[in-house]
């Protein structure tokens, strides 16, 4: 049997509805509207009545409701509600906020009828919803993979920065090592010259002692 009744409302004001069966669905739907929690929070709810289920989707202050038999499950009715909400908002936009009761009924009841028949009898409607779900999962996986790639990119950038810093530190170390090497070399040169000078003085003192005088007189006779 599928979806048997559909309605669009703003708060408790019914803007459009359509029923495909001779039941008191519209009266029960109004009771469901009155039972909905106060406020404008978005919500998806389901209420059972005999062998029928009333599914409700409230988004941005607009309530879309449908009645379906319990064999329809939840996926198809809520896909129908999402479709109706998008079509209704796209068609009437700002006029929704100030529209009187049943202001859109003449035109939009036909849309409700067509989409109720589509989601109740067209097997592709359920396949399409499954495909949308699979696409949503694929998109989530792609987003997760992109996040991981970006995270790896951040890590790679951090590694490049560390490598650059390491290269800079290496160059500074080489320059400091070269300066220290030059400093040690000059120190060794100065020490060598000083030692040679001291050695020459010692040799001179020894020669002066042996040659009996600073002018080495006995060594040059």
Q: Would you state the structure tokens that stand for residue 107, as one six-digit string?
A: 């035109």
Residue 87, both tokens:
């079509």
Residues forming beta bridges with residue 62, ordered by sequence position: 10, 59
* Cα distance between residue 44 and residue 120, in whole Å: 20
- 28 and 129: one domain? no
Are 66 and 89 found together in one domain? yes
Residue 84 burial by Cβ neighbours in a 10 Å radius (0-12, 13-18, 19+): buried
Q: Are residues 129 and 107 in the same domain?
A: no
Question: Are 18 and 117 in the same domain?
Answer: yes
115 and 14 both lie in a single domain? yes
Q: How far is CA 76 from CA 90, 135, 168, in A?
A: 21, 17, 64
- Whether the CB-CB separation of 33 and 12 falls below 8 Å is answered with yes
Domain end residue (candidates: 79, 100, 121): 121
Ranges of residues in the chain whose predicted pLDDT is under 70: 1, 39-40, 123-134, 136, 138, 147, 149-150, 152-160, 162-163, 216-217, 220-221
Per-residue model confidence (pLDDT) at position 37: 80
Residue 28 and residue 51 share a domain: yes
| Same domain membership, residue 130 and residue 110 | no
| pLDDT for position 131 | 62
Do 156 and 210 lie in one domain? The reply is yes
Question: Does 135 lie in the same domain as 220?
Answer: yes
List, for residues 144-191, the tens digit of each pLDDT value: 777 676 676 666 666 667 667 777 777 787 888 788 788 888 888 888
DSSP code string of 96-142: GGGPPTTTTHHHHHHHHHHHHHHHHH-HHHHHHHHHHHHHHHHHHHH
pLDDT at 19: 93
84 plus 31 within the same structural domain:
yes
How far apart CA 50 and CA 2 sit, in angstroms, is 15
Contacts 24+ apart (CB under 8 A), 119-122: 119/2, 119/3, 119/76, 119/77, 119/79, 119/80, 119/83, 120/1, 120/2, 120/3, 120/72, 121/2
Structural domain count, the chain: 2
Task: Based on the fold, state whether residues 132 and 56 are members of the same structural domain.
Answer: no
CATH of the domain at 43: 3.30.450.50
Strand spans (E) along 20-126:
43-49, 52-59, 62-69
> What's the domain range around 113?
3-121
Is residue 42 packed enough to be buried (19+ CB in 10 Å), middle (13-18) or exposed (0-12)? Answer: exposed
């Amino acid at each position: 049997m599928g979806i048997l009744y559909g309605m669009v409302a703003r708060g408790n004001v019914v803007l459009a509805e359509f029923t495909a069966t001779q039941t008191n669905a519209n009266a029960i739907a109004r009771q469901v509207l009155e039972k909905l929690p106060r406020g404008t929070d978005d919500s998806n709810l389901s209420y059972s009545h005999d062998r029928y289920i009333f599914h409700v989707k409230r988004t941005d202050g607009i309530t879309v409701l449908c009645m379906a038999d319990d064999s329809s499950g939840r996926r198809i009715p809520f896909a129908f509600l999402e479709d109706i909400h998008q079509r209704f908002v796209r068609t009437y936009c700002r006029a929704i906020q100030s529209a009187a009761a049943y202001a859109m009924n003449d035109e939009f009841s036909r849309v409700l009828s067509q989409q109720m028949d589509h989601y109740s009898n067209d097997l592709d409607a359920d396949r399409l919803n499954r495909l949308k779900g699979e696409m949503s999962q694929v998109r989530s996986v792609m987003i997760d993979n992109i996040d991981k790639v970006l995270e790896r990119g951040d890590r790679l950038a951090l590694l490049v920065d560390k490598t650059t810093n390491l290269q800079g530190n290496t160059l500074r170390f080489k320059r400091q090592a070269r300066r220290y090497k030059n400093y040690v070399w000059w120190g060794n040169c100065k020490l060598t010259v000083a030692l040679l000078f001291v050695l020459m003085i010692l040799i001179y003192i020894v020669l002066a002692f042996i040659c009996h005088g600073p002018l080495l007189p006995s060594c040059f006779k």
